[in-house]
Amino acid sequence: MTLKALIFDVDGTLAETERDGHRVAFNLAFESSGLSWQWDVDTYGKLLEIGGGKERLKYYITYYKPDLPQKEPLDTFIRHLHLEKSRYYAKLLVSDTIPLRIGVKRLITEARQKGIRLAIASTASEENVKALLDTSLGKEMGQWFEVIAAGDMVKNKKPAPDIYLLALEKLNLSADECLAIEDTNQGLIAACEAGLKTVITVNDYSKNQDFDRAILVLNHLGEPDLFFEVIKGNTHNKSYFDIELAEKL
Ligand code: XBP
């Protein structure tokens, strides 16, 4: 089957947004809300097992702060706190743009030139995904992603396949016409369960996870002058990830 679309995860795959973006924004929101909570890099790594900012907050309060005084229903409190966090995240992206990971811009540009369609499948909220696309890629390139499947558009977040199934539905393509690009085991499970072949580019948070089901595992997508390291899979004599390699997978 011919490759027709690439479906990208966002956080950790397009850019290293988790440690330096979302985590920092959560901490700023805690501070401005009068909460003395601080998510350090290691704690945040553990909390990343819970996908979705609102879900992560709920898990943290339930298991780490069960005695938090409740002035309003927990879900309302979380919604407000998450809104505050999203405001900080958007501000942070503008003031201190988080760069795209190695090879991302090149691959997106090549896909666009060759008529390979582009889509997003992310657990993060739609507004936070768009904020990153606008600031890291710019408004024009951000529009190249014709499908954005994100956040609360589905009931069950990754590792459930729902967000990938939604992206496929919006693209009107079958799984064997697309390739997913992810950075975590949860994302890999979600994509595989939706029937997609998946390439992983690991990062510091995910590098020790189980990527058995991935077709290819790399340290990053690479560039013509900065080759990737292969952790698992057949790169067909390529030293950076391009559309030719994507088509061979
Ligand atoms: C992303 C997430 C999100 C972000 C926070 O996962 O888990 O929760 O950390 O974003 P993935 P929001 O990259 O696997 O899709 O606060 O917008 O939810």
In a shared domain, residues 89 and 176: no
Nearest atom of ligand 1 to the alpha carbon of 13: 13
Q: Among the options 11, 162, 183, 242, which is catalytic?
A: 11
User: Which residue did the predictor score with more confidence, 121 or 1?
Assistant: 121
The total number of residues written for the chain in this structure: 249
Look at ligand 1, atom 4, and give the residue with the nearest C-alpha: 124
Which residues constitute the domain of residue 177?
Answer: 5-16+100-248
Q: How far is the CA of 53 from the centre of ligand 1 (A)?
A: 6
9 is catalytic: yes
Domain boundary among 46, 76, 94: 94
In a shared domain, residues 112 and 187: yes
Domain boundary among 54, 77, 94: 94
In a shared domain, residues 208 and 173: yes
Q: In a 3-state reduction of DSSP, which class is residue 211? A: coil
In a shared domain, residues 151 and 197: yes
What is the rounded distance in angstroms from the CA atom of residue 132 to the CA atom of residue 112?
19
- Using CB distances shorter than 6 Å, the residues near ligand 1 are 9-12, 18, 22, 51-53, 56, 122-125, 128, 151, 158, 184, 186-187
In a shared domain, residues 195 and 226: yes
pLDDT in tens, 52-65: 999 999 999 999 99
In a shared domain, residues 63 and 164: no
Look at ligand 1, atom 13, and give the residue with the nearest C-alpha: 11
Tally of domains in the chain:
2
Nearest atom of ligand 1 to the alpha carbon of 50: 7
9 pLDDT higher than 80 = yes
What is the rounded distance in angstroms from the CA atom of residue 121 to the CA atom of residue 168?
9
Name beta bridge partners: 150: 122
User: Which residue did the predictor score with more confidence, 70 or 23?
Assistant: 23
Which among 157, 96, 133 is positioned nearest to 13, based on CA atoms?
133
Nearest atom of ligand 1 to the alpha carbon of 11: 13
Name beta bridge partners: 226: 223
Q: How far is the CA of 188 from the centre of ligand 1 (A)?
A: 14
Backbone angles phi, psi at 7, to 5 degrees: -115, 115
97 pLDDT higher than 80 = no
What is the rounded distance in angstroms from the CA atom of residue 19 to the CA atom of residue 229?
22
Nearest atom of ligand 1 to the alpha carbon of 26: 16
Identify residue 190 by its one-letter amino acid code.
A
1 pLDDT higher than 80 = no
The overall average pLDDT reported for the chain is 95
pLDDT in tens, 102-136: 999 999 999 999 999 999 999 999 999 999 999 99
Model confidence at 211, pLDDT cuts 50, 70, 90, reads: very high
The whole-model pTM stands at: 0.94
What is the rounded distance in angstroms from the CA atom of residue 241 to the CA atom of residue 195?
21
pLDDT in tens, 131-168: 999 999 988 999 999 999 998 899 999 999 999 999 99
In a shared domain, residues 146 and 232: yes
162 is catalytic: no
- Report the CATH number at residue 216: 3.40.50.1000
Name the least confident of 88-97, 100-109, 169-178, 179-188. 88-97
